[in-house]
Amino acid sequence: MAEIEIYSAVLCPFAHRSRLTLLEKQVPFKLIEIDLQNKPANFQEISPYGKVPVLKHGEHRVWESAIVNEYLEETFPEPPLLPKNPIQRAQARIWINFADTRLFAAIGRLLYSQDSQPQTAILKELTEHLQFIEQEGLRKISDADPYWLGADISLVDLTYYPWFEQIGVLEHFRGFQLPAGLDRLQEWWQTMANRESVRAIAKPQEFYIEHYAQYALRNQDRIAV
Ligand SMILES: N[C@@H](CCC(=O)N[C@@H](CS)C(=O)NCC(=O)O)C(=O)O
């Protein structure tokens, strides 16, 4: 089998989701850590968007974490991390898309935004996204099961979990509070935190707070409280 390499950065939740996918599929891989503040001179050749993650599989490269994960799912089908049924697969992809276009977009604006959108508006948006996940996602799809789509872990779980591992950063630097009443979400989070793959590469909140300080503090003045 051709060797798998993944270009990653320890703070990057997108790279984190692809590393978790490799671990869940028990695919051996080489981790190449990139310092995004000081990218290697040839990084654009490796990563056309200049971002991590990038997966190298033999002579091929794949980037964009959601696409990397689908590539891994198709290349290493066991254990399956997407449902077999087409409508359930579509629903899984809708939730992955929700993470990327809504939840993570709001988080990114909260942490890095240079515009003058008031912090309170973004915090409200984040709260609404999380309530939507609780009610329309977890409670409707898997109220009595451990994972997002039911009894088995899937790419949806691996997509969302990395953000929850870093949540202390938003609490510490941006005053974010997880809304009350998200009981099913809390249960899901606990299940994920105990998962072997997650534990194998987990970092504590203090690690994220220390390492995000350079980004979060740089932008603090720009965000109106
Ligand atoms: N949509 C991309 C996002 C990847 C991304 O934003 N990566 C960030 C780190 S978390 C990055 O490499 N940033 C470097 C840069 O933009 O210069 C994905 O899902 O892979």
SS3 labels along the chain: CCCEEEEECCCCHHHHHHHHHHHHCCCCCEEEECCCCCCCCCHHHHCCCCCCCEEEECCEEEECHHHHHHHHHHHCCCCCCCCCCHHHHHHHHHHHHHHHHHHHHHHHHHHHCCCCCCHHHHHHHHHHHHHHHHHHHHHHHHCCCCCCCCCCCCHHHHHHHHHHHCHHHHHHHHCCCCCCCCHHHHHHHHHHHCCHHHHHHCCCHHHHHHHHHHHHHHHHCCCCC
Structure confidence at residue 225 as a pLDDT band (50, 70, 90): very low
Smallest CA-to-CA distance from 53 within 66, 64, 43, 67 is with 64
Does pTM surpass 0.85? yes
What phi-psi label fits residue 3: left (phi over 0), alpha (psi between -120 and 50 degrees) or beta?
Answer: beta
In testing the pocket of ligand 1, which one of 12, 19, 54, 158 has its CB within 8 Å of the most ligand atoms? Answer: 12
In whole angstroms, what is the distance from residue 126 CA to residue 105 CA?
Answer: 10
Q: What is the pLDDT of residue 119?
A: 84
- CB of 54 shorter than 6 A to ligand 1: no
- CB of 34 shorter than 6 A to ligand 1: no
* pLDDT tens digits, 7-31: 999 999 999 999 999 999 999 999 9
- Residue with more model confidence, 113 or 220: 113
In whole angstroms, what is the distance from residue 33 CA to residue 1 CA?
Answer: 23
- CB of 104 shorter than 6 A to ligand 1: no
CA-proximal residue: ligand 1, atom 16 (nearest):
51
Asked if 97 and 91 touch (Cβ cutoff 8 Å), the reply is: no
Q: What is the pLDDT of residue 112?
A: 82
Mean pLDDT value of segment 58-73: 98
The position carrying tokens 């979400």 is: 185
Asked if 24 and 158 touch (Cβ cutoff 8 Å), the reply is: yes
Q: What is the pLDDT of residue 219?
A: 57
Structure confidence at residue 223 as a pLDDT band (50, 70, 90): very low
Q: Is the pLDDT of residue 120 over 90?
A: no
Q: What is the pLDDT of residue 45?
A: 95
Which atom, in ligand 1's list, is nearest to the CA of 51? 12
CA-proximal residue: ligand 1, atom 15 (nearest):
51
Q: How far is the CA of 183 from the centre of ligand 1 (A)?
A: 31
Q: How far is the CA of 163 from the centre of ligand 1 (A)?
A: 14
CATH code assigned to 4-75:
3.40.30.10
Neighbour-count burial of 64, counting CB atoms closer than 10 A to its CB (0-12 exposed, 13-18 middle, 19+ buried): middle
Mean pLDDT value of segment 56-65: 97
Neighbour-count burial of 48, counting CB atoms closer than 10 A to its CB (0-12 exposed, 13-18 middle, 19+ buried): exposed
Sequence spans of domains, the chain: 4-75, 86-220
Q: What is the pLDDT of residue 126?
A: 96
Q: Is the pLDDT of residue 207 over 80?
A: yes
Q: What is the pLDDT of residue 18?
A: 98
- Residue with more model confidence, 111 or 74: 74
CATH code assigned to 86-220:
1.20.1050.10
